[in-house]
Structures are given as C-alpha cells and as structure tokens.
C-alpha cells in the first residue's frame, strides 16, 4: 500500500525573502491584518513570492494567516513579506478591530469567547 507523497519545498522558507531585505521593517502588522492590493505595480527586485502575494489579493483581501496558507509559508515569513510590500506601497493593510482580539488586559474579550463557544456547540449538535 502506498501513500500519496506530499511535495516538500526544497529550500528553506526564508529564501522567499530574496536575500536582500533592504531597510528593516517596523513590525506593525498583525497576523490577522487584512491585506489588499493597492494597484501599484510590483518592482523588479521583488521575488516571485512577493508577486504571488499581490496576485492573491488583487480581487479582494486576505489576512496574513490566509496568505501564509496559500503560499505554504510560515506566518512569520509571510509577515515579513507583507511588511515589505506595505512599505513599498504594493499592499494596503487594515488592522483587525481591537475589540475582536482582546480586552484591555490583553486577554480575549468575553463577547468573542461566548461567540466561539456558541459556534462550537452548534458544530457538536450538527
């Protein structure tokens, strides 16, 4: 009995950054930030991964986590790529609503936890 082989990337994920990181990025993006294309063309020095990121958000927006899934890259690498594209002007970022992420003490808000619990109960009942 043979199993389907999963094709692995033959190079480390950080190679997607292209080697030339340029100026350091600010690190202000969140993994849940929504990214959309700005319409500015991709520069010559951007790697194919940068170009693919812009292609994925031309017709809408995706979060950094979703982009990481589509690209098959770690979220940390995708965050760096996204920061570069936002800094260069090819992508626009919208930060998530703070109330949906955490309360003032940094923990998830009670309203969000209740919604998650209701969703889980619905899944179990189905």
Residue 116's SS3 state is: helix
**Which range is least confidently modeled, 25-34, 55-64, 66-75?**
25-34
Distances from the Cα of 83 to the Cαs of 3, 10, 58, 95, 110, in angstroms? 38, 25, 17, 13, 31
Decide: 45 and 20 in contact? Cβ < 8 Å.
yes
pLDDT for 18-51, tens place per residue? 555 544 456 678 888 999 999 999 888 888 899 9
């Amino acid at each position: 009995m043979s199993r389907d082989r999963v094709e692995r990337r033959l190079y480390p994920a950080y190679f997607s950054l292209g080697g030339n990181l340029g100026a350091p990025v600010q690190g202000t993006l969140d993994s849940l930030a929504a990214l959309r294309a700005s319409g500015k063309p991709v520069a010559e020095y951007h790697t194919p991964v940068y170009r693919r990121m812009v292609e994925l958000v031309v017709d809408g927006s995706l979060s950094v986590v979703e982009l990481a899934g589509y690209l098959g890259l770690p979220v940390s690498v995708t965050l760096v790529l996204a920061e570069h594209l936002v800094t260069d002007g090819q992508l626009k970022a919208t930060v998530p609503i703070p109330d949906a992420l955490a309360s003032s003490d940094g923990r998830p808000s009670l309203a969000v936890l209740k919604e998650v619990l209701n969703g889980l109960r619905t899944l179990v009942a189905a």
